[in-house]
Structure 1
Amino acid sequence: MIEYIKGEIAELTPAQMIMECGGIGYALHISLNTYSAFQGKQSGKIYVYEVIREDAHLLFGFAEKAERELFLLLTSVSGVGPNTARMILSSLPPEELIQVIATKDEIALTTVKGIGLKTAQRILVDLRNKVKPMEAMAATSSVSGGSTAVSEEAVAALVMLGFPKAASQKAVASIQKNTPNLAVEQVIKSALRIL
């Protein structure tokens, strides 16, 4: 799976970006939020999520990891596909979407094209408990700036070991809050005891 692509921006439109890397042009479906982040830039690094279907291989690009995480959470909701998730992220920036879910604001979600009341309610119910760990991670990242890479690496390792991402994020955030200067290996070992 592709984690990110770093290269020159060959084309940029509000819905698509073509990133050239190593002589290959990758077409990425992007949100308006990502478009705004890359507008006016000649090169950059974009986080990627790959969707493989019978009839197509699609790449979705994100300016930040947090936006990609929200995209994955949205697509985990029944009835919300990649294009609908991208539409939601185009209408609501990641911070605002987290706030909408936390406050159970159905009306804000129904203003997004293609989202009806039932889908909005399903999103709020399914994601209510899943976005809080992301807020906690953002808080610990801003408090202990140097430990962001450590926490991301620790969470990724725990997920690869088969633990749920939300639980892994919560455990790592808790460990780093109490002892912020631990190495990645120590954070993972401590998290394994909690999980």
Structure 2
Amino acid sequence: MPGVIAYLTGTVRDVRDTSAVIVAGGVGYEVLCPAPTLAKLRVNDTAELHTRMVVREDAWTLYGFQDQDSIRLFDLLTSVTGVGPKLGLALLSAMPPHVIAGGILGSDSKLLASVSGVGKKTAERLVLELQNKVPEHLAAASGRTTAPVVNSTVGQDAVEALLALGFREAQVRAVISELLSADPNATADQLIRKSLGRLR
């Protein structure tokens, strides 16, 4: 489609609950982003986002992602019947790409259905239609795992605290596992605070 915005570089003007405003060439673009991307954006910093424009009769909506894996998975997820951009964004907000890939490859529809808005039938359809389409490097990264194990005491404490707040276990474990991989020395309080920014 002519005029499609595939990549956007500009200054972050505002960061909201589900979107950010990026100023490029004197124009402010509102870009809907998954929680991990939003968490890395800072007002007045320069943002570089891979984008997808979804055009409908009543709106042109721009979706932005900080890495190629997320946008590739977004494209795959939204290619499935009944999975629109909003649901694709919800999945990528709840879990990192390799965990979603692991759920698909491991036929773990329960993991996918743990995300708010994803029903049992939709989760089963994702598994059925995407099992042979997951990129090889994501398949390798996933190790075909479905529910990350949190071994540390600090991680378990954070998991239990978040479960007490009503979040779903599969989502919580996926986020805590990713945060601990990035910072093995994080305290339980730090893990909880960072997790709350990702769990929607």
TM over 0.5: yes
**Matched position secondary structure for 1:100:** helix
Asked if 1:90 corresponds to 2:93, the answer is: yes
Question: Could you tell me how far apart the structure 1 residues matched to 2:89 and 2:100 are?
Answer: 12
Contact 1:14–1:31 at 8 Å: present in 2 too?
A: no
Correspondence for 1:67 among 65, 70, 79? 70
CA shift, 1:84, in A, is 0.8
State the match for 1:54 in structure 2. 57
Contact 1:14–1:30 at 8 Å: present in 2 too?
A: no
Provide Cα deviations, 1:112-163, integer angstroms capped at 9, x if missing partner.
111111100000011101104353798xxxxxxxxxxxxxxxxxxxxxxxxx
State the match for 1:7 in structure 2. 10
CA shift, 1:48, in A, is 0.6
State the match for 2:162 in structure 1. none
Provide Cα deviations, 1:12-56, integer angstroms capped at 9, x if missing partner.
123001000111000001111211232577112011100000000
Question: Could you tell me how far apart the structure 1 residues matched to 2:20 and 2:104 are?
Answer: 28
1:148-167 aligned at under 5 Å gives the runs none
State the match for 1:114 in structure 2. 117
- TM-score in terms of structure 1 length: 0.66
State the match for 1:105 in structure 2. 108
Question: Could you tell me how far apart the structure 2 residues matched to 1:97 and 1:67 are?
Answer: 10
Change beyond 3 A, Cα 1:35–1:53: same
> Structure 1 unaligned runs (5+)?
139-195
Contact 2:78–2:88 at 8 Å: present in 1 too?
A: yes
Which gives a bigger RCO, structure 1 or 2 (Cα 8 Å, sep 6+)?
Answer: 2
Larger deviation, residues 112-121 vs 127-136? 127-136
Question: Could you tell me how far apart the structure 2 residues matched to 1:137 and 1:40 are?
Answer: 35
Identity of aligned residues (%): 34
| Aligned amino acid, residue 84 of structure 2 | G
**Matched position secondary structure for 2:112:** helix
Structure with higher helix content: 1
- TM-score in terms of structure 2 length: 0.65
Question: Could you tell me how far apart the structure 2 residues matched to 1:99 and 1:39 are?
Answer: 30
Contact 1:102–1:132 at 8 Å: present in 2 too?
A: no
1:127-138 aligned at under 5 Å gives the runs 127-135=130-138
Change beyond 3 A, Cα 1:134–1:2: farther
CA shift, 1:96, in A, is 1.2
> Structure 2 unaligned runs (5+)?
142-200
Ranges of 4+ aligned residues in structure 1 off by more than 4 Å: none
**Matched position secondary structure for 1:52:** strand
Superposed CA RMSD? 2.0
